[in-house]
């Protein structure tokens, strides 16, 4: 029995290292990748604001919101939330905000559902799934959130 326990200990002694640091690296990669995708989209929107407004008036059909307000909110969300994810501050709320922006993008552009853009639909599903990972598991050790939480625990 002792041999089995030693073998088990030898095989599992790096589990904490792998799950803590490996998961943190994975979370960092997700934050950077998804954040960059949305930031690029937001940057494109503000780079040609007239075209963005035309898209929101003619192509995108955001429920309830007037097109101009939807354009401002969409571009703002695509620029603001990725910055929060990049530095890892209020990461879960930022991931939730981007998840909402992602859902609204899919709902508001009916051509995605008509399968004119199957790759675009898949991208939105992937981004949504990755954002759900961040919401569920947090930003990891390589985030300002982690550092602030550790500091708060020291002072408590």
Q: How far, CA to CA in Å, does 97 sit from each of 18, 29, 83, 102?
A: 29, 18, 12, 9
Per-residue pLDDT of the chain (156 residues; tens, 9 = 90+): 787 767 666 666 666 666 678 889 999 999 999 999 999 999 999 999 999 999 999 988 898 999 999 999 999 999 999 999 999 999 999 999 999 999 999 888 877 666 566 777 889 999 999 999 999 999 999 999 999 988 888 887
Give a yes or no: residue 3 inside a domain: no
Strand intervals (E) in the chain: none
- 43: helix, strand or coil: helix
106 in a domain, yes or no?
yes
In a domain, 116, yes or no: yes
Domain boundaries, position 62: 23-155
Model confidence, pTM? 0.85
15 assigned to some structural domain: no
Total number of domains in the chain: 1
**What percent of the chain is helix, strand and coil (3-state, nearest 5)?**
80, 0, 20
- Both tokens of residue 123? 């991208």
């Amino acid at each position: 029995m002792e041999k089995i326990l030693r073998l088990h200990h030898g095989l599992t002694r790096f589990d904490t290292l792998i799950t803590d640091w490996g998961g943190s690296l994975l979370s960092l990669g997700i934050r950077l990748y998804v954040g960059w995708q949305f930031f690029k989209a937001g940057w494109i929107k503000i780079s040609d604001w007239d075209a963005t407004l035309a898209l929101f008036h003619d192509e995108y059909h955001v429920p309830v919101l007037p097109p101009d307000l939807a354009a401002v909110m969409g571009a703002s969300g695509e620029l603001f939330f990725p910055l929060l994810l990049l530095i890892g501050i209020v990461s879960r709320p930022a991931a939730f905000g981007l998840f909402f922006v992602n859902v609204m993008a899919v709902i508001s552009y009916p051509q995605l559902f008509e399968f004119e853009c199957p790759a675009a639909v898949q991208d939105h599903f992937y981004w949504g799934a990755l954002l759900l990972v961040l919401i569920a598991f947090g930003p990891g050790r390589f985030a300002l959130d982690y550092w602030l939480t550790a500091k708060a625990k020291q002072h408590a």
